[in-house]
């Protein structure tokens, strides 16, 4: 009887250790990384910030997409907003889609930000950060440029107004349109 209890305890302990190990492997395998250049951009459907309904990334397949992640509490996003709006006004006539994804933000503050900066491209809300997590966003602003097939052409970590990105953003849009 004692031997049986001892064996059962050992089996339970071993199962516990195996379970913890499996959990560790699962978390490592499912760790979220930013999609690299050339890989498919993670699909998503998000609620609109600037109106009712949702927008899904898949609905823009066949068009180049500029995906900008921002937040109203982010200082660099303020200076970037005007440049994005200007570029949107230029590139929209060439079939390029601009999408803004508001990250970990209060919807009311985000709407005020959009209104204050007179942004007219579609805005989406990701309050929970589930989509931004899949894009490996660690700071805002960050911008992805996707080609017509939905593959990543460029990932700019920081405002596109950053002197280092000045040429890169335009080049990435040209590549995405090709």
Partner 1 sequence: MLRFAAVFVAALVFAAPASAACSHPRTSLDYLQGQVMCPTCHTTLAMSDSQAAQQIKGFIAKRIAACWTAQQIETALVANYGQGILAAPSHKGFDLLAWWLPIVGVLAGALVLAFGVWRWSRRKEPEEPDEPTDSGLDEETERRLDDLLARFD
Q: For binding to partner 1 (CB under 8 A), which residues are involved?
A: 2, 9, 71-75, 104-107, 109, 127-130
Nearer to partner 1, 7 or 107 (CB): 107
CB of 106 to partner 1, least distance (A): 6
Cα–Cα–Cα angle for 141, 144, 147, nearest 5°? Answer: 160
Q: Which is nearer to partner 1, 42 or 76 (CB)?
A: 76
3-state secondary structure of 49: coil
Q: How far is the CB of 84 from partner 1 (least distance, A)?
A: 20
Helix H or strand E segment including 117: none
> What minimum distance in Å lies between the beta carbon of 119 and partner 1?
19
CB closer to partner 1, 7 vs 75: 75
Q: Least CB distance from residue 100 to partner 1, whole Å? A: 17
């Amino acid at each position: 009887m004692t031997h049986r209890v001892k064996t059962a305890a050992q089996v339970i302990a071993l199962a516990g250790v195996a379970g913890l190990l499996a959990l560790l492997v699962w978390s490592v395998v499912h760790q979220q990384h930013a999609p690299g250049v050339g890989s498919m951009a993670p699909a998503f459907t998000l609620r609109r910030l600037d109106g009712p309904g949702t927008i899904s990334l898949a609905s823009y397949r066949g068009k180049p997409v500029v995906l900008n992640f921002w937040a109203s509490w982010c200082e660099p996003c303020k200076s970037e907003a005007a440049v994005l709006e200007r570029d949107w006004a230029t590139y929209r006539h060439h079939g390029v889609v601009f999408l803004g994804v508001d990250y970990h933000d209060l919807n009311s503050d985000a709407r005020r930000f959009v209104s204050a900066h007179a942004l007219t491209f579609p805005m989406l809300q990701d309050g929970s950060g589930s989509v931004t997590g899949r894009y490996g966003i660690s700071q805002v602003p960050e911008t992805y440029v996707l080609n017509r097939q939905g593959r990543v052409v460029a990932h700019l970590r920081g405002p596109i107004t950053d002197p280092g990105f000045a040429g890169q953003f335009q080049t990435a849009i040209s590549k995405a349109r090709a």
